[in-house]
Each structure stands twice: as structure tokens, then as C-alpha cells.
Chains A and B, each alone.
Chain A
């Protein structure tokens, strides 16, 4: 089945220790999104890629970076995680960039910072 896959599902990292979360998709979608969702809150968009074109949200901290080496994979790098970065990180894809297209989400990676 075509899908969005996130690994790992649970990640524990230490304060200040860089961590990378990964997302892959078999949908061959052009757009990939990264969201941060804190407990009992709505998902918050961090950035997205349209093909190789990177689009950062204005309020995304510099601590968060992303890479998309090819259509199928996208990575979220947190350079120096703080306690406030503990959250669920959701990857999503969309066939085409635009408001009318639904997004398909992965199961998320729950990040714990100790």
C-alpha cells in the first residue's frame, strides 16, 4: 500500500544532542511537510518542500533544519534539542502544492528530550 512512513516511532534524545527524524513516502507526491504537534494542541507547520524548493515558516526556530535528498525521503534535523522541543513530529505529503489538495500524514515520531 502506498503510504507515508516515519522512523522511528519513538525517539529519545538528550538535551543539546542532535537528532534526525526521517520520513519516506511511496505516493510519489511532490510536496512534503513537517509539522510539530505538542500535547493537546493542533499541528503546527514547520516547513515544506515542493520538489527541491524549501519553504520555511517564519516562526520556525533556526534549530530546526530539513533535507530532502530525493522525492521519496525527507529528514528533520534538530541541531540542539531543548526540553521545549519534546513533541510529536508529523510528516505529510501532498500530490501538488496548493490549497485544494489534501495531505496524507505519517504516524508521527514522538520525541522525548531528557
Chain B
């Protein structure tokens, strides 16, 4: 069965701190895709990154970085020098085996960045 686990329900940091959001997944597929989405208080989910199972290279985009490790089935997300605008719910998601585009979401991690 496919599953995504985000063990951290809520994280609170002070601005400028670094923070890592954990994501662990389960799948029997050899080809799969992992995603991170951000859901600010306004409600819409904002796409952050897609990673396929054959590309374990870590990625950096500004203050955001992602660490994909197949050996531990993890796809962690780090925000460097956090800002108040980073406050949101962050969802990690796994592509469903059906190749319909269906996403298996984790339960989400609520990040609060305090000034």
C-alpha cells in the first residue's frame, strides 16, 4: 500500500531559524514521483517541487532545499533563514500507482514562524 507520513504535526520557530520538515513514504512502485505543496492561510495549495524516483540529486531553490534519500524512503524539506511569510501548512505527496495523477498526501505539517 502507498502511504506518506509527516510525523511533525506542528512546528514553531523564530524568524531566521532553519527548519526541516520530514516526509517518509511507502510504495512498491519503482517509478514514482514526490511532491511538496504549501498551503498558506488563504487556502490554495502552491506547488513547490516535483522529484522522480530516479533522481536523488538534492535540490536548492533560494531558501528552500530538498533532500531525497531512497535508502530511507524520505523526502525532507528544509527552509533556511525562515520568514514569517513561510507560515503555512506544508504537504508532502506521492504519485498514485494508477498513473492518473492522483496524489497520496501526508497529513501535513503546520509551520508557524514567529517574528
Chain A residues with a Cβ under 8 A of chain B: 4, 31, 33, 40-43, 45, 48, 50, 55, 57, 88, 90, 92, 94, 97-108, 110
B106 CB to closest chain A CB, in angstroms?
Answer: 7
Write the chain A residue with the least CB distance to B49.
A102
B44–A108 CB distance below 8 A: yes
Interface stretch among B14-22, B62-70, B94-102? B94-102
Contacts of B35 in A (CB 8 A): 102
A45–B43 CB distance below 8 A: no
Write the chain A residue with the least CB distance to B35.
A102
A48 to B100, CA, bound (A): 9
B15 CB to closest chain A CB, in angstroms?
Answer: 24
Contacts of A94 in B (CB 8 A): 101
A99 CB to closest chain B CB, in angstroms?
Answer: 3
Chain B residues with a Cβ under 8 A of chain A: 31-33, 35, 37, 42-47, 50, 52, 91, 95-96, 99-103, 105-108
B51 CB to closest chain A CB, in angstroms?
Answer: 10
Write the chain A residue with the least CB distance to B46.
A105
B107–A90 CB distance below 8 A: no
A50 to B96, CA, bound (A): 16
Which of B31, B46, B101, B107 is A101 in contact with, Cβ under 8 Å?
B101
B44–A99 CB distance below 8 A: no
Contacts of A101 in B (CB 8 A): 101
B50–A100 CB distance below 8 A: yes
Contacts of B95 in A (CB 8 A): 99-100
Write the chain B residue with the least CB distance to A90.
B45
B107–A107 CB distance below 8 A: no
B34 CB to closest chain A CB, in angstroms?
Answer: 10
Given contacts A99-B95, A99-B96, A100-B33, contact A43 B105 (CB under 8 A): yes
Which of B33, B42, B108 is A42 in contact with, Cβ under 8 Å?
B108
A88–B105 CB distance below 8 A: no
